[in-house]
Amino acid sequence: MADMLVWVMQRRVVLADRAERLRKELAEIDAEVTRLEAAEVVIGQFIEAERSGQADDPDAAEELERVTTPGAGGMLLVPHREPGMDESALPADYQAIMKMVTAASEPVPAKDVSVQLGRGTQPGQVEPVRDKLRRLADRGWLHRTPAGRFTALAQPPA
């Protein structure tokens, strides 16, 4: 019986170490996803400026360089919600998601939001939307139910 207890303890330690490594890896991946989302927004703005003939703006080029440079961490595309903040502090795609969730009469799954955005129901179409919903929930903009659905918050956290 003592051998079994030793085995269980050793197994727990091994799995706890693995879980910690995976948590660190996930944090690094989340940081890179955030950087890429920021780059996507800035590149989109740069392309739009180029189309409208305003691409010669040195500030836009500098911003593009800053955001697309590897290791440009520290910039939060979705800020933590604070009292007095409204949805205008969010990028346009996040504002669209917020409008859909706040307009819903009950908590909505990521799949429904993806469909409303015109992206579809395939995992590759839903998962980016789910990531954005989670980010909004993690930063205090939405509430995530235990069932993985999302609903609007009445008040920002104090």
| Sequence-distant (≥ 6) Cβ neighbours of residue 144 within 8 angstroms | 133, 134, 137, 150
pLDDT in tens, 38-55: 888 778 777 777 777 665
pLDDT at 155 over 70: no
Using 50, 70 and 90 to split pLDDT, how confident is the model at 88?
A: confident
Cα distance between residue 133 and residue 140, in whole Å: 11
User: For a pLDDT cut of 90, what percent of the chain falls above it?
Assistant: 36
Q: Tell me the Ramachandran region of residue 153: left when phi exceeds 0, alpha when psi lies from -120 to 50, beta otherwise.
A: beta
Show the tokens assigned to 108.
């909505």
Mean pLDDT over each residue of the chain, to the nearest integer: 82
In this prediction, residue 70 carries a pLDDT of: 44
User: Residue 67: its pLDDT value, please?
Assistant: 52
Query: Tell me, what DSSP letter sits at residue 108?
Result: B
Predicted model pTM: 0.54
Q: How far apart are CA 119 and CA 129, in angstroms?
A: 9
- The mean pLDDT value for 25-48 works out to 81
Rounded to whole angstroms, the Cα distance separating 102 from 136 reads 12
How does DSSP assign 25-91, residue by residue? HHHHHHHHHHHHHHHHHHHHHHHHHHHTT-TT-HHHHHHHHHHHSTT-TT--SSPPP-TT--GGGS-
pLDDT score for 6: 92
Average of pLDDT values for 109-117?
A: 94
pLDDT at 109: 96
